[in-house]
Structure 1
């Protein structure tokens, strides 16, 4: 069974980890340290079943009710735990591989410590257009202005990815602000998503000086 099929099977009762400081994109991996009791229970149950959970955002104004069940934003990213380690006090370190955007249809009745939703899985349609190559070229240009270690991790992915995957992996690597990441996660039109990520990369390029060649100039 593919990861996509696993997420689709889990969508009827999808476990949700609301984490306001982090936004996961499909095709990317995020490390998480799980320490709250309700989310330790979530991870324990996920590991015992399908290893699927969704990383979600809370609606603005959640701060006063974080310990409760403040409203969830409807667009999330569902993923599969690809590595796990249980540490002291029942806490976990995990790596969560993003698989697909999902839209919450309904939050389920609270019969667990953690939250679960019924969700619609939102797969990207195939897309090929000029925006794809424009973004790829912008990433190649950016690679000449950032440390080699960072460029070497981004360039192979940018070279082989296309369509929505290209937008997602570039956004994951280069867009740090959670609110902006959530906006890009919520953009379901692949062409517009590519355009929006290109705006972010172009803004970053405008802030970085071109690398000047070293050595004597003739």
Structure 2
């Protein structure tokens, strides 16, 4: 069974971890430290089953209700736990690999500590257009203005990725702000998503000076 099929099978009762500080994109990986009892229970159940869970953002104004069930933003990213370790006091360290955008359809009720939803799975449609190459060229230009270690990680991924995946992996690498990441996660039109990420790279390039080589010049 593919990762996409596992997410689709889980979508009728999808385990959700609302995490205001983080937004996961498909085809990227995020490390998480799980310490709240309700989300330790979520991870324990996920590991005992299909290993599928989703990350979600909360709607604005959640701060006073975080201990309860404040409204979640409808667009989420479902992924698969690809690595885990249990540490002291039943906490977990995990790596969650994004698989697909999903849209909240309804929240399920039950006796579990954590939240589950019925969700619509929204895989990207195939796309080919000039925006792909334009974004790659922008990534290459950015690579000349960032530390080599960052460029070496980003360039091979950008060279291989296509369509919506290209926009997602680049956005994941260069955009730290959760609000902006959520905006891009919610953009289902691949062409517009590619264009939006190009705009973000352009702004970043404008703030950075080219990295000069160290040592004597010949």
Which TM-score tier does this pair reach, normalised by the shorter chain?
over 0.9
Q: Which residue of 2 aligns with 1:168?
A: 168
Cα offset for 1:111? 2.0
Q: Distance in 2 between matches of 1:33 and 1:60?
A: 23
Q: Which residue of 2 aligns with 1:116?
A: 116
**1:17-37 deviation per Cα after TM superposition (whole angstroms, max 9, x unaligned):** 000000000000000000000
Q: Distance in 2 between matches of 1:67 and 1:209?
A: 44
Q: Which residue of 2 aligns with 1:16?
A: 16
Q: Where does the alignment leave 5 or more consecutive residues of structure 1 unmatched?
A: none
Q: Distance in 2 between matches of 1:126 and 1:79?
A: 20
Q: Distance in 2 between matches of 1:52 and 1:17?
A: 11
- Alignment of 1:93 with 2:87, yes or no, is no
* TM-score, normalised relative to structure 2: 0.98
- Alignment of 1:151 with 2:157, yes or no, is no
Q: Which residue of 2 aligns with 1:81?
A: 81
Q: Distance in 2 between matches of 1:210 and 1:80?
A: 38
SS at match of 2:135: helix
Q: Distance in 2 between matches of 1:82 and 1:67?
A: 28
Cα offset for 1:119? 0.2
Cα offset for 1:213? 5.3
Cα offset for 1:110? 3.3
Q: Which residue of 2 aligns with 1:189?
A: 189
SS at match of 1:70: coil
* Structure 1 vs Structure 2 CA RMSD: 1.0
Q: Which residue of 2 aligns with 1:106?
A: 106
Q: Distance in 2 between matches of 1:49 and 1:162?
A: 31
Q: Distance in 2 between matches of 1:93 and 1:87?
A: 7
Q: Which residue of 2 aligns with 1:132?
A: 132
Q: Distance in 2 between matches of 1:171 and 1:74?
A: 20
SS at match of 2:31: strand
Asked if 1 retains the 8 angstrom alpha-carbon contact of 2:15 and 2:117, the reply is: yes
Q: Which residue of 2 aligns with 1:31?
A: 31
Count of equivalent residues: 217
SS at match of 1:27: coil
Cα offset for 1:216? 4.6
Distance 1:213 1:40, change over 3 A: closer
Distance 1:44 1:213, change over 3 A: closer
